[in-house]
Amino acid sequence: MTAPRITIVGASLAGLRTAEAVHAALPAARITLVGDEPLAPYNRPPLSKEAAETLARDTTAREAVFGKLLLRSKLSPAALSLRLGSGAVALEPGGVRLADGALVPGERVIAATGLRPRRLPLPGAEARRHVLRSFDDLVRLAPSLRPGARMVVIGGGFIGCEIAATGRKLGLEATIVEPSPQPMLRALGPRVAAAMAALHRAHGVVLLTGRSVAGFSDEGVILDDGQALAAEVIVEALGSHPNVEWLAGSGADLRDGVLVDDRMVAPGAEGLMAVGDVARFVNPLFGPEARRTEHWCVPGQTAKRVGETLAAEAAGTALATRFAPMPSFWSDQHGMRLQAFGAPSLADACRVLEGELSLVGRAPVIVEYLRGGEPVGVLGLGANPAALAKARARLDAALTETLTA
Amino acid sequence: MKVDVDMSICLLHGQCVIAAPQVFSFDDDGGLVWVAEVDEAQRADVEAAADACPEQAILLG
Ligand SMILES: Cc1cc2nc3c(=O)[nH]c(=O)nc-3n(C[C@H](O)[C@H](O)[C@H](O)COP(=O)(O)OP(=O)(O)OC[C@H]3O[C@@H](n4cnc5c(N)ncnc54)[C@H](O)[C@@H]3O)c2cc1C
Ligand code: SF4
């Protein structure tokens, strides 16, 4: 048998971890990792946090900052062929067609193409408008993060709240414009989101909730109520679109990412798998609905599953376990760490296990999230990791029960 | 194998504690503690912990 050729598209966290998992499962496989960015795989979470701060303070520190973001890999360079700087434009019967015209062969193609930021489809203020997903985005943004500059962040999700907090730390004036009543409302629920809103306000962030942006002028943004906000820096943090256009016509279900089954294989396109932010899958810990999860932990978890699937296929056995990974995410805002396990966004109620929500940012708080009375998530806000680990154990136990029920 | 954590970059995410609870844990003050020398049987868990660390703070030798 000849060595299988496996082509992974998207050279970021999910792509790299998948290459490692494929190599571990099938040491003879010839693996190609294709990426449209010209950079080797790097870590994104610091882009709105420490990396933004460091690069804003010293815009010449580009290499040092990137060096810290670069993902270490245990794969030897010989085990992997990296093709950077040209993106995939189509999936063809023999492999993946790149923008530069080349065809990268692969019996098996794994989509790890992640997301790209949504932008407001409104013209104006182009030179001041930014998004934050890639290192290039940060390099373009950093020089405008100057003390005293006025920054308007459109969208109060995690990335928007983080860059606003980083902006305040750097001495900028920061305003967040968010259409819903609270920032991070969907992810954290009304009570915790309100506490986070108070924390942002206490740190000098102007939060305009229930408002949206109607247009851009030469000076800044214009809100739906006609109010004009002057801004030298505008960050559009409105959420993202899955990068699936290159898979059009593949047979896979591409509504909101690439739908994959328990093996990470796309139904309708057997040779195609998907991992990371772009993958939509059922997690039996949380019911029968397929969802996409934009957390750092997902690339590692889905990559490991690809490894298990390929190893089982090679051995001609069935997968020994179900795919039921425990989600987790963190965020850093105003010097406070949020750390969550499970799926707080699915909860219909929450209860404070430790501390007080009115003290968020000043004293540790741990919140348990419930759905139909059962724990579905736990969140620490500036919490002691040991105390949070105990709360997480309760969650683990409750969710494991769901799985066996 | 040897396990070390660069505490100058560790941000106490605790992902390592989840991936390899026999090797990494939090003490009561919330500080990270780990077993510095583990046997080969734990290699997979410890490597999983290193991969799961968002700060790439875990060094294996
Ligand atoms: C600013 C920021 C802060 C974040 N902070 C946190 C945090 O605090 N905590 C947390 O849990 N998560 C955080 N995340 C989320 C986390 O970084 C993502 O979940 C993770 O990067 C997903 O990895 P991925 O490899 O699936 O996708 P991505 O990292 O998006 O990588 C996809 C790659 O594919 C490339 N690509 C796209 N289309 C093509 C194509 N057609 N051909 C070739 N290549 C292509 C892209 O350019 C990119 O390099 C943050 C993300 C951002 C952007
Ligand atoms: S996962 Fe990494 S950063 Fe988090 S506690 Fe472990 S070593 Fe520290």
- Express each pLDDT in A379-402 by its tens digit: 999 999 888 988 998 999 999 887
Burial group, residue A124, by CB count within 10 angstroms (0-12, 13-18, 19+): middle
| Residues flanking ligand 1, CB < 6 Å | A 9-15, 34-37, 44-45, 47-48, 87-88, 112-115, 132-133, 159, 243, 246, 276-277, 294-296, 299, 329-331
Residue A1 clears pLDDT 60, i.e. is over it: no
| pTM of the model as a whole | 0.96
Summary mean pLDDT of chain A: 96
* Interval A293-307 mean pLDDT: 96
- DSSP class of residue B34 equals E
For residue B12 and ligand 2, the question of a CB distance below 6 A is answered with: yes
Distance CA A248, CA A263 (A): 21
CATH superfamily entry for domain A5-38+85-116+241-315: FAD/NAD(P)-binding domain (3.50.50.60)
Distance CA A254, CA A243 (A): 10
For A82-139, how does the pLDDT look when each residue is reduced to its tens digit (9 = 90+)?
999 999 999 999 899 999 999 999 999 999 999 999 999 999 999 999 999 999 999 9
Distance CA A209, CA A306 (A): 41
* Interval A60-71 mean pLDDT: 96
Alpha-carbon distances of A367 from A180, A327, A375, rounded to whole Å: 22, 16, 10
Distance CA A107, CA A11 (A): 19
- Domain boundaries along the sequence of chain A: 5-38+85-116+241-315, 119-238, 335-404
Question: In CATH, what number does A335-404 get?
Answer: 3.30.390.30
Residues in chain B predicted with pLDDT less than 70, given as ranges, are: none
Q: Give how far A237 is from chain B: nearest CA, Å.
A: 22
Predicted pLDDT of residue A405: 66
Q: How many CA atoms does the CB half-sphere of A73 hold within 13 Å?
A: 27
* Interval A18-36 mean pLDDT: 97
User: Residue B25: beta bridge partners?
Assistant: B33
Same fold, A119-238 and A335-404: no
CB atoms within 10 A of CB A148: 9
* Interval A145-157 mean pLDDT: 98
Distance from the CA of A391 to the center of ligand 2, in angstroms?
18
* Interval A48-75 mean pLDDT: 95
* Interval A368-374 mean pLDDT: 96
Please, which pLDDT band fits residue A2 given cuts at 50, 70 and 90?
low
Q: Which run of H or of E encompasses A313?
A: helix A297-315
Q: Write the ipTM.
A: 0.86
Which mutation among B18, B25, B53, B59 tests ligand 2's pocket best, with the greatest number of atoms within 8 A of CB? B53
For residue B50 and ligand 2, the question of a CB distance below 6 A is answered with: no
Burial group, residue A279, by CB count within 10 angstroms (0-12, 13-18, 19+): buried
CATH superfamily entry for domain A119-238: FAD/NAD(P)-binding domain (3.50.50.60)
- Give nearest CA residue, ligand 1 atom 3: A45
Domains in chain B, please, with CATH? 3-60 (3.30.70.20)
Q: Give how far B4 is from chain A: nearest CA, Å.
A: 16
